[in-house]
Amino acid sequence: MAWGEGAATVAALPLTALDGDEVTIEPHSVLGALLIVGFSQESGDQTRAWGHHVAEWADERSGGGTPTPPMHLPVESSATEDHMPVFSIVVIGEASRFMRGMFRRMMKGVMPAEVEGSFFLAYEDADAWREVAGVDDEAAAYVLRIDATGGICGRHAGPPSDEALAGLLDAPCSS
């Protein structure tokens, strides 16, 4: 794990939402966001496991009060009572228009409606995504904690654990 990566940012990297809209990451929270990023079909097991782990962690900490919105984490912070958004990103790289549409429709078909808005595809700038995530094993899931400007303040590669998630949530961010 590497913390305090200051210069790395995801703010300008283009993504495609499951509805086909082109977007960029905007955390909408002073807490920033958590990104679960996969770079290959082999990383799918770990990225799905991270999604389940985050959901279970959020459920355990909701304390029977107001339920946490899907794909958000309750985080104690003096700066806000917001929930930290969690986004899943599949980096596909260059693909034909036909393959992009086919893959997007397939993903939309298997994605629960309540989390569709937190799932994105990266068709462009795959090398930039690899650099930002610090990829050295495309079969691993990469989880990035970003600040409100899209700057990287924490990284983890590999399967989920409470320790890894706590480390990401406690990572010092500049915002």
pLDDT of residue 158: 97
For 158, counting Cβ atoms within 10 Å of its Cβ (0-12 exposed, 13-18 middle, 19+ buried), the class is middle
Three-state DSSP class for 109? Answer: helix
Measured N-to-C along each axis, helices 162-169 and 44-61 cross at an angle, to the nearest 10 degrees, of 70
| Per-residue pLDDT at 63 | 63
22-36, 128-142, 161-175: range with lowest mean pLDDT: 22-36
Predicted pLDDT of residue 143: 96
Q: For domain 15-169, give its CATH number from 3.40.50.720, 3.40.30.10, 3.40.50.1470, 3.30.360.10.
A: 3.40.30.10
In angstroms, the CA 42 to CA 14 distance is 23
Average pLDDT, the chain: 80
What pLDDT was estimated at residue 47? 94
Tally the C-alpha atoms within 13 A of residue 4's C-alpha that lie toward its C-beta. 1
Tell me, what's the pLDDT at 26?
Answer: 66
Dihedral over Cα of 22, 81, 141, 116: its sign = negative
Q: What percent of the chain has pLDDT over 70?
A: 79
Query: What is the reported pLDDT for 72?
Result: 64
Q: What is the pLDDT of residue 168?
A: 92
pLDDT at residue 164, as a whole number:
96
In this predicted structure, what is the pLDDT of residue 155?
94
User: Which pLDDT does position 175 carry in this prediction?
Assistant: 55
Half-sphere exposure of 151 (CA within 13 A, CB side): 15
How would residue 58 be classed by pLDDT, with cut points 50, 70 and 90?
Answer: confident
pLDDT at residue 173 in the model: 79
